[in-house]
Chain A
Amino acid sequence: MAALGPSYQLGNPITKVHTDAASGEKQHATWSPYDDNGGTVVAVAGEDYCIVAGSTRLSTGFSILTRDASMMLQLTDKVVVASAGMQADRKALHKLLQARNVMYQHNHGRPMSVSAAAQLLSNTLYYKRFFPFYTFNLVAGLDEQGRGAVYNYDAIGSYERSGYFSAGSGKGLVQPVLDNQLKAASPLLLPPRSTITALPLDQAIDLVKDVFVSAGERDIYTGDRVEILIITKEGIRRDELQLKLD
């Protein structure tokens, strides 16, 4: 067998792959099951509303696949799931969530609450802990008290409720602006304040639109159009924002 690796050998090396790995030279796959199709999603929660918006450009590498793709799934009158990342995994995840949503309505005789949907998404993501969905998700809606709710996730389902969040290719450009505009003056204040914004709805919509325009300037994967869903106790209203096509 080949010479001992720098530290130790795991068991008995069976093939060249194992001996190479032991000596620190690991062969890597020539193919990846993942692709990033770009796009940015943003959600902002208010006292009695929730805004969730996603860009509609779908890209791969440096090419545009379509200018007209939706990143959001409307589960009920009060709950929306928005996912950035890989389109294939987004579609698969959204199909699964919709099937579970229908099941929930049959079994409970009423639609899912935003907290139930949030937990369901977390469980669904963790189910694929060892081959994750390449999606960076936000759940947005109104909670049982009618206040805005935003939940943010990592790829394997770790989640937290917050007053606002962003995800996707433009996150690095968007999140600091949201922190600047919506977060309390000092993070050292105790008790910790809820970051649900006191802004009125129209101002919050303007903020979301501004933030997308800015992200669209520098992030090549964010552009074309923004699909905005505004969730209030009256239902879900749709708005659109045209972005640069470059």
Chain B
Amino acid sequence: MFRNQYDTDVTTWSPQGRLFQVEYAMEAVKQGGCAVGLKSETHVVLATLKRSQSELSSFQRKVFKIDDHMGIAIAGLNGDGRSLCKYMRNECINHRYVYESAMPVGRLVRQIADKSQVCTQRSWKRPYGVGLLVAGVDRQGPHLFNTCPSGNYYEYKAMAIGARSQAAKTYLEKHFESFPAADMDELIRHGLKALQASLAEGELTAANCSVAIVGKGFAFTLLEDAAVQPYVDALKEDEPMQAEEAAAGEAPAAAEAPDEPAGGEAAAAAAEADGGPAPMEAD
């Protein structure tokens, strides 16, 4: 990718005002398996694509329950993801112990972001190589947050991260206005459809995707394998009806997806010259 003299240290600025190590860490997130999150007025749904190392191995876990009212989906370095998951679980347990109530989602996300920022400003540390989609419900209602290695975090109505997430985002952008009123099953269907858009080849099966839901009065529940099969099947039934819409809507999306790696290289060439647009601004 980028190769220049300002990218050795996380504490070295480039003349264009960029921290390349942090941006490289965000690349790690983009290389991870796709994860999609979307919320309605009452529920938040996470849908993720699980990868497996080989035919012999199991699929990597991408969704973790943090507490009854909160869970995360990760994209990027799984080890870093697990480490943050452990931290979040601990914080929630301690919060319940001290305050006898559920940890507010935004507060925990902010703590993660602060933790991530520290790693961008110490020469003896490295940034976390994982992006989280945090789905949770608190007294303010359902929330979906995205954290990234830079220490930035945003709240979203719907978001996708990881490989070929642009295709999923395109689907979400097209349909997000119908999410607030959607019921749980519709929300899951949208999530899986968005996920499907990011598939390079093959199709969604109960083995390679997992879905999680959390809502007001609905504890965080992870659906995998047999539990997610009915939703995957329902998706297949929709397919013939939506074939025309797909042909129209997904053509530009499909055109965009293969462009991404090519676009990445073009940006790399540009970066050598003048640094190119910073990833945060490109989106």
**Chain A residues within CB distance 8 Å of chain B:** 95-96, 98-99, 102-103, 106
Contact = CB atoms under 8 A, between A and B. Distances in A.
A101 to B, nearest CB: 10
Contacts of B94: 99
Nearest to A101: B93
Contacts of B89: 102-103, 106
Contacts of B97: 95-96, 99
B96 interface: yes
Question: Closest 5 interchain pairs by CB?
Answer: A99-B93, A99-B97, A106-B89, A102-B93, A95-B97
Contacts of B143: none
A99 B99 CA distance: 12
15 contacts: A95-B97, A96-B97, A98-B96, A99-B93, A99-B94, A99-B96, A99-B97, A102-B67, A102-B89, A102-B93, A102-B96, A103-B89, A103-B93, A106-B65, A106-B89
Contacts of A99: 93-94, 96-97
Nearest to A106: B89
Contacts of A95: 97
Nearest to B100: A95
Given A95-B97, A99-B96, 7 more contacts: A99-B93, A99-B94, A102-B93, A102-B96, A103-B89, A103-B93, A106-B89
A98 B67 CA distance: 13
A95 B65 CA distance: 21
B247 to A, nearest CB: 42
Interface in B46-87: 65, 67
Nearest to B97: A99
Contacts of B67: 102
Contacts of B93: 99, 102-103
Nearest to B64: A106
Interface residues of B, number: 7
A99 B89 CA distance: 11
A43 B85 CA distance: 38
A171 B97 CA distance: 31
A106 B68 CA distance: 11
Q: Which of A95, A99, A103, A106 gathers most chain B CB within 10 Å?
A: A106
A98 B97 CA distance: 9
A103 B96 CA distance: 12
A201 B65 CA distance: 37
Contacts of B65: 106
A144 B162 CA distance: 42
B70 to A, nearest CB: 12
A96 B93 CA distance: 10
Nearest to A100: B93
Interface string B137-162: 00000000000000000000000000
A96 B89 CA distance: 15
B84 to A, nearest CB: 14
A103 B65 CA distance: 12
A109 to B, nearest CB: 10
Interface in B90-135: 93-94, 96-97
A96 to B, nearest CB: 8
Contacts of B96: 98-99, 102
B187 to A, nearest CB: 25
A95 B98 CA distance: 9
A145 to B, nearest CB: 26
Nearest to A96: B97
A92 to B, nearest CB: 10
A47 B93 CA distance: 35
Nearest to B90: A103
Contacts of A103: 89, 93
Nearest to B96: A99
B157 to A, nearest CB: 29
Interface string B156-182: 000000000000000000000000000
A98 B96 CA distance: 10
Contacts of A96: 97
A99 to B, nearest CB: 5
B82 to A, nearest CB: 11
Q: Which of B65, B93, B96 gathers most chain A CB within 10 Å?
A: B93
